[in-house]
Structure 1
């Protein structure tokens, strides 16, 4: 027939529309069509759902909806030239470079299920990935059904670098060091804890136990190096200047050299070290070094721990009052170089001060003696602006069961730590899950174990309020620059220079 003879070539001369329609409803196979172009367009049809395959050759089409389930996915095909261009989809659809497939709505893009993916892999076909998996490859784990970072292009913050040991903030020559800057971050939730004390009271050991170590560890692995046996035998000091350590919880610990140290004085005299020109006598220089360090801690720390190993030295409290008097004024918002007077408590900053009685004996844990110690500290610090009471309590730690808060009339920030045990009795007490046998009971000590008391002391120190150090909220890096400026001001302080002149 003439019409059928003209209709078939006309059907193949048109665009893809009739060929797509022929694919959806296949008729009898056109076996009378020949030619190289027609043979190239026909490929065997593959059924993904496992049904019976048709006998005639079908067109292979390429899908463009990347996340369509396999049950609703159309048969692949190769687009012919001259196909009409489709407008790009808006959401979750990405067209292939070869061209688009008409007939599918752009707003339908369900995700590929796990069963469909496994079925495609069994049939030797690679499942199509969602668009976000292709575009955000390398930004994180975006597996099938996995959560995606809501902020595109935002990289996750790396964990802060963990310090293995302390570093110098101020060296033995009283010069500022910048090596601590690389461990600091631009965040404001930080706590600064400093320590002062006489020589041999255990400052470095206590700071190591508060920051990163436990009593069971070897003291040679502490972050703040403690005195070695050789140094103890020659009555020397281990720490010099100010050591810096910051924990993963963003708590900055500052360990200092001993105040009024006789070993530092002996080192100055026997090694014939030249003194700065403003100091005439070695003992004056040692005392001024101690006052500079203490005044610096009173300005840049939230908490200052005063450690003593016997109760009590009157000269220590006189030294604290002198350092408070010579403390640089807190910079005000309008004048950074000058601050208000020390009598103006509203603008002047004073830290929390905690008295730690280290190496305490058993009789010092007696409630009667504890009450006398609190009364003595309160009398000695009565005229001080330092926050020496109301922020730490041993009675809240259940160390003295049966004692209420009314027992201590004036409770100051005083905590007692016994001598650190090195034998196995303390380990036996900590490890006991049930009541031990009477033959294995340790001797009466009159106080909890050292590890238990250190843990309670650490909890109370870390729970202290973090007052604002200056007129602006400081980040860790801003605190470092602020502390460097305060240290430079302390060394050049006219009040300290005048006090040094009066001593000599």
Structure 2
């Protein structure tokens, strides 16, 4: 035993060696050939002798039990560690590969799996992970706006849908002078709208003119007009067709506002005969009718770009006095701050005033005489000399080539006035029938002399000039269609509660 196992029998006795084998403390002499794990156990008892104390429980648990395997299986862990070392080194390679895929995907994942020797299932599972980097590549290439539209394509399609076309007008202010919200669904978030309003006395043709300017032609049936015109029965009774304020918007985003007649005798007759109760602040029906007209006119002077004043004869001085009163009682334009100047689009920077157009409807042949036309322009200029309303420089009959022989300097004071002849659709048919009895059929092809172009030609020229009117800024900010609706609702509420109108009605009563 001593010759084969130990060279110093005095130090390592047989009995002590047997006890240490039973207690798993195999310590051999320094010349004994031991494996790697046994060498670690050889130096462990020497450290215990240097400490001169027996090791405690936690030190015994720190022994490398994982490496203590049978000698027959020691080669397999070496191979497994070598093979397992490759995936450990491959993990950074896979991360670098995934990072390279985000820039230039040149190496396929199958070649990587074959070079590393890993299983295909593991590589495929790891290849499914870079879905987030692919999403980031799409965001980086397409941009945030393109990603939002790609996520929700209906947003882009809704912008391409044409706006809904209106066929008939709806109420903006009902006959009780209450605000209506039904027009909100036809409005959009765009700022290129033009607001055109109309005022005039009863029976002057306001609704007919607004329908022809908005969506209809003279050849159509009047029962299908955008604004309801006065029926024959209503004309015989002397009543009014329009009540309150009617709203209509075209595909060109032009807002037309038709109103009830100003200073209407039929509304006054309806108040008197039907024993309708007046509001407590009004004592007389006539005062109530006049204040209604002033409220509507002052409202249009605040929220419209263009206001058309329709009359069927020249001229009523009470109408000009009414316009000046409505201008005086017009609510002030709200501003962003007290020191804002030039924000409302007016000359003094504090108040907004619209363009006003005087439309002479149902004009006679004598009214188209250049001398009479010049006199009418001079009279209107004298009556509106002290007004802040923009009554010059927007509409011109000389620019329409209606009077080819007249120069641009014929009228020194040209106001916004336009003449419309009588609407007579059957006149050409009557001329044809009358001309068929003539001896010379050539004269039947020539139209009769009227002194002015046809009604269709005149209304088309008026429409082109109205749509080309300058669109000034109504308030201190640029309004969209929806913002204009809320702005108009606030102005209407302020008009009904205006202290200036209340004081004026008290002076009248």
Task: Provide the rounded CA distance (Å) in 1 between the counterparts of 2:379 and 2:406.
Answer: 20
- 1:412 corresponds to 2:415: yes
In structure 2, do the counterparts of structure 1 residues 335 and 360 end up closer, same or farther at CA, with 3 Å as the change threshold? same
Find the partner of 1:389 among 353, 369, 392.
Answer: 392
- 1:243 corresponds to 2:238: no
In structure 2, do the counterparts of structure 1 residues 172 and 404 end up closer, same or farther at CA, with 3 Å as the change threshold? same
In structure 2, do the counterparts of structure 1 residues 90 and 399 end up closer, same or farther at CA, with 3 Å as the change threshold? farther
Higher relative contact order (CA 8 A, sep 6+): 2
Residue matched to 2:502:
497
Find the partner of 2:453 among 444, 448, 454.
Answer: 448
Assess if the C-alpha contact under 8 Å between 2:183 and 2:247 holds in 1.
yes
Residue matched to 1:281:
284
Task: Provide the rounded CA distance (Å) in 2 between the counterparts of 1:150 and 1:460.
Answer: 42
How far off its partner does 1:89 sit? 6.5
Task: Provide the rounded CA distance (Å) in 2 between the counterparts of 1:416 and 1:282.
Answer: 34
Task: Provide the rounded CA distance (Å) in 1 between the counterparts of 2:354 and 2:430.
Answer: 36
- 1:398 corresponds to 2:401: yes
Residue matched to 1:253:
256
CA deviations on 1:76-129 (whole Å, 9 max, x unpaired) are: xxxxxxxx9996966999x9xxx97879xxxxxxxxxxxxxxxxxxxxxxxxxx
Give the TM-score, by structure 1 length. 0.68
Assess if the C-alpha contact under 8 Å between 1:199 and 1:259 holds in 2.
yes
Task: Provide the rounded CA distance (Å) in 2 between the counterparts of 1:368 and 1:233.
Answer: 36
Residue matched to 1:186:
189
Residue matched to 1:76:
none
Assess if the C-alpha contact under 8 Å between 2:299 and 2:330 holds in 1.
yes
Q: Name structure 2 gaps, 5 residues minimum.
A: 1-93, 113-134, 136-145, 433-440
Task: Provide the rounded CA distance (Å) in 2 between the counterparts of 1:299 and 1:427.
Answer: 46
Residue matched to 2:356:
353
In structure 2, do the counterparts of structure 1 residues 194 and 234 end up closer, same or farther at CA, with 3 Å as the change threshold? same
Assess if the C-alpha contact under 8 Å between 1:181 and 1:477 holds in 2.
yes
How far off its partner does 1:442 sit? 2.4
Structure with higher Rg: it is 2
How far off its partner does 1:426 sit? 7.8
In structure 2, do the counterparts of structure 1 residues 102 and 310 end up closer, same or farther at CA, with 3 Å as the change threshold? farther
Assess if the C-alpha contact under 8 Å between 2:395 and 2:415 holds in 1.
yes
Find the partner of 2:265 among 255, 262, 281.
Answer: 262
Give the TM-score, by structure 2 length. 0.67
Q: Name structure 1 gaps, 5 residues minimum.
A: 1-83, 104-134, 136-147, 430-435
How far off its partner does 1:378 sit? 0.3
In the TM superposition, what are the counterparts of 1:304-383 in structure 2 within 5 Å?
A: 304-334=307-337, 345-383=348-386
Assess if the C-alpha contact under 8 Å between 1:426 and 1:449 holds in 2.
no
Assess if the C-alpha contact under 8 Å between 1:169 and 1:180 holds in 2.
yes
Assess if the C-alpha contact under 8 Å between 2:431 and 2:444 holds in 1.
no
Assess if the C-alpha contact under 8 Å between 1:205 and 1:226 holds in 2.
yes
Find the partner of 2:478 among 473, 476, 481.
Answer: 473
1:437 counterpart SS class:
helix
In structure 2, do the counterparts of structure 1 residues 466 and 439 end up closer, same or farther at CA, with 3 Å as the change threshold? same
In the TM superposition, what are the counterparts of 1:15-94 in structure 2 within 5 Å?
A: none
Aligned residues: 365
In structure 2, do the counterparts of structure 1 residues 89 and 349 end up closer, same or farther at CA, with 3 Å as the change threshold? same
CA deviations on 1:283-307 (whole Å, 9 max, x unpaired) are: 0000000000000000000000000
In structure 2, do the counterparts of structure 1 residues 209 and 92 end up closer, same or farther at CA, with 3 Å as the change threshold? farther
CA deviations on 1:366-399 (whole Å, 9 max, x unpaired) are: 1010000000000000000000001110100111
In structure 2, do the counterparts of structure 1 residues 101 and 270 end up closer, same or farther at CA, with 3 Å as the change threshold? farther
